[in-house]
Homo-oligomer: A and B are copies of this chain.
C-alpha cells in the first residue's frame, strides 16, 4: 500500500477476472482494506469471490472488504444538497471510514432553503474536515465555506440536467467559490474526497 493508504479499484473498464486478480494481490500484500468503486453486480460479485466477508452498496455501486482498518481518529462531516447525491456521499463515507476516521453525514441541506442547513451546522462546525457534495449550481459549497473554519473539500456531482453538463457547472462554481478554504476533487469523486478528508481529519486529531 502506497503512502500507508489502501488501494482502491475502479471497476469500470475492467473484467471480473481482472478485479479478482487485483483484489487478491492487494489482500496478499496485507492491504488494510480493499474498495471497489463504479462496481456493477458482476464486479461486486468478483470481490466477494476473493473476499467472502465483503460488503456492498448497490445504489452507490460499491463493494469493499475491511481487514485491518486503523482505529478511527478525527471527524469528517459530509453534507449534501439532496438524495440524488447519495451515491457520491456514500462513496466518500465508506472510503473515509476504511482509512480510519469518524464520519457524520447530513443529506438534504439544499441552499434553496438555507434553513435546511441549520440542523447540520453544529456537526459542520465541530468537524476536522467538511466534505460538501452538490450538483446543479453547487451553491452549497460557497455557503458552507462561508460558515465553517475547517478545511472544506468540495465534490461536484453530475446531478441535474441541461446546462449542468454532467457536473461541469458545479465543478466550475466550486473551483471559483469566493469562500476561502475550499478545494475541489473530480466530478462524482467521493473516493477522492474521502481520501483527502480522512488524511486531514486523522492528522488533526
Contact = CB atoms under 8 A, between A and B. Distances in A.
A2 B113 contact: yes
Contacts of A66: none
Given A114-B147, A185-B184, A83 B142 contact: no
Contacts of A192: 180-183
Contacts of A200: 151, 200, 203-204
A145 B143 CA distance: 14
A171 interface: yes
Nearest to A179: B112
Given A139-B177, A171-B175, A185-B183, A38 B161 contact: yes
A32 interface: no
A139 B138 CA distance: 8
Contacts of A12: 84, 161
B142 A137 contact: yes
Contacts of A112: 2, 142, 145-146, 177-180
Interface in A157-178: 158-165, 167-178
Q: Within the oligomer, what is the number of copies of this chain?
A: 8
Which of A149, A165, A172 neighbours the largest number of chain B CB atoms within 10 Å of its CB? A172
A105 interface: no
A27 interface: no
21 contacts: A3-B146, A3-B148, A3-B180, A8-B180, A13-B159, A15-B59, A38-B161, A111-B179, A112-B178, A114-B114, A137-B142, A137-B172, A137-B173, A137-B174, A139-B141, A163-B175, A169-B172, A169-B173, A175-B186, A181-B195, A200-B204
A10 interface: yes
Contacts of A180: 3, 5, 8, 112, 191-192, 195-196
